[in-house]
Amino acid sequence: MYPFFHNKARVRKSAFRVIKYIILYDSFFLRLFVMAEEQKQELKYFVRIANTDLDGNKPINHALTKIKGVSFMFSNAVLNVVGIGKAKKAGYLSDAETARIDEVVREPAKFGIPPWIFNRKKDPEDGTDKHLIGTALTFTQDNDIKMMKKMRSYKGVRHSLGLPVRGQRTRSNFRKNKGKVLGVKKKEGTKAGRV
């Protein structure tokens, strides 16, 4: 028996170390290749997706979060469906990739994105799961608040009074309606100290 193979754990460790370095080596050259490919194309400084201008210098998964209603998790799901790398800069996307991302962001249910990631589950009007973005999201939020005010629910009353809705205390914070804190005023006839 060879003396090197005496310790099986050492052999396993060295084999894993070699595999780890091969993977790191390959990923390094893959990154260099992608960067070289990106430099051949011209960088667009603004990319328009879902009626929003995105920064072309940012990676696409971060740039998508600028769209109102798109979270980091949702942008990852969209990029997985489309098949675009998350580290790719938004400015290097082709027009076809941009159109595909726009289509998936607007109608995610059609492309197999799970409904637990949507921002409007069981819509009161039609009972479906939706994902709203941009002005549709703000319009729906405003309508929900108006409906709560109209039906005079507790949350609606708190919204109409301008007070916190979610059970926070109002003694020390949320003083915009109460005015500035004045403290204790002394009467004019009393002297300082004990009586």
All residues at 6 or more sequence positions from 77 whose CB lies less than 8 Å from its CB, including other chains: 108, 113, 114, 117
Per-residue pLDDT reduced to its tens digit, 18-69: 666 666 666 666 666 666 565 567 888 888 999 899 998 999 999 999 999 9
Q: Taking 60 as the threshold, does the pLDDT of residue 4 lie above it?
A: no
Q: Determine which helix (DSSP H) or strand (DSSP E) holds 47, and give its type and residue range.
A: strand 46-49
* pLDDT tens figures, 90-119: 899 899 999 999 999 999 999 999 999 999
What tens digit of pLDDT does each residue of 163-180 get?
A: 899 988 888 788 777 777
For residue 98, what are the contacts with CB-CB under 8 A and spacing of at least 6? 47, 48, 49
Phi, psi (5° rounding) for residue 94?
-80, 170
**Domain edges within the chain:** 1-39, 41-116
Higher pLDDT, 121 or 16: 121
Structure-token pair, residue 11 = 């052999």
CB 129 within 8 A of CB 118: yes
Q: What is the CATH number of domain 41-116?
A: 1.10.8.50
Q: Distance (Å, rounded) from C-alpha 12 to C-alpha 26?
A: 21
Q: Rounded to an integer, what distance in angstroms lies between the CA atom of residue 163 and that of residue 125?
A: 28
